[in-house]
Amino acid sequence: MNLQNVKEALYAILGKDANDEGGVCYWVEASDIIEHLMAKFKANPIPNIYAEYLLKQQVVLDNDGVHYTRCLEYRGICRKMIFGFTNKEFYNQTVNWYEDEYTQFKTAMNNKILNIVKDSSYPYDYPADITQDLDIVIVLIDAYQYDMLDCLTTNMYDYLVAAKTELEEYQRKKPNPQVENCIDFAELMLELPKLECFEI
């Protein structure tokens, strides 16, 4: 099956004509938490026979027709599935829910977290930007430890990269164990898979 035939088949599954210039279809790979959220927002499961065409990687197909397993760097063998949708708003709704209601990342970004760091037992006083960096890393680590986070959105990834850089710079000037721990946690979190949306 060539790529054009795959595209036409996928568009047909999603109820669109691949030759229609009026719209574009999208796909996203998901597992566990994101899989449930995609279903919540009524994204369409894509049959697993198309996974290798979209991922450009070998997979092992499950018998259920939608799931498959593949090897991810740092994570090993993971069970995944692909969802498709005709409107990117489906994806945006999922990301918003995941960042806000599920992981509290957006709440932390909007400075609505009640200073987790200052309420802790660590006897350190930080500048406001460092306090927020530490708060957000702690929020994400908590979400991960309670099985509420298994991948990073683009916003999460970009913030963690920036926060890690700021914390490392602060640690060089005023080393302390709490900042060092959060740097290690940020590095760990950056190994999680990224949640990304692609055009079919």
Tokens matching residue 114: 């009640």
Residues 6+ apart with CB under 8 A from 63: none
From the list 117, 78, 199, 102, the residue with the least C-alpha distance to 153 is 102
- The rounded Cα 151 to chain-centroid distance in angstroms is 4
Give yes or no for residue 124 having a pLDDT over 70.
no
From the list 83, 52, 54, 48, the residue with the least C-alpha distance to 68 is 48
Percent of the chain at pLDDT exceeding 90: 30
**Lowest-pLDDT range of 3-7, 29-33, 82-86, 185-189:** 3-7
d(CA 170, CA 21): 51
Average pLDDT, integer, range 20-36: 81
Residues 6+ apart with CB under 8 A from 185: 137, 138, 140, 141
pLDDT tens-place string over residues 79-115: 999 999 888 888 888 888 888 878 888 877 776 555 5
d(CA 95, CA 82): 16
Q: Which residue has the tokens 């060092």?
A: 180
pLDDT score recorded for residue 184: 94
Q: Positive or negative, the Cα torsion across 179, 181, 184, 185?
A: negative
pLDDT tens-place string over residues 149-173: 888 999 999 999 999 999 999 999 9
Give yes or no for residue 53 having a pLDDT over 60.
yes
- The rounded Cα 64 to chain-centroid distance in angstroms is 24
pLDDT score recorded for residue 24: 81
Beta bridge partners of 80: 68
**Predicted TM-score (pTM) of this structure:** 0.81
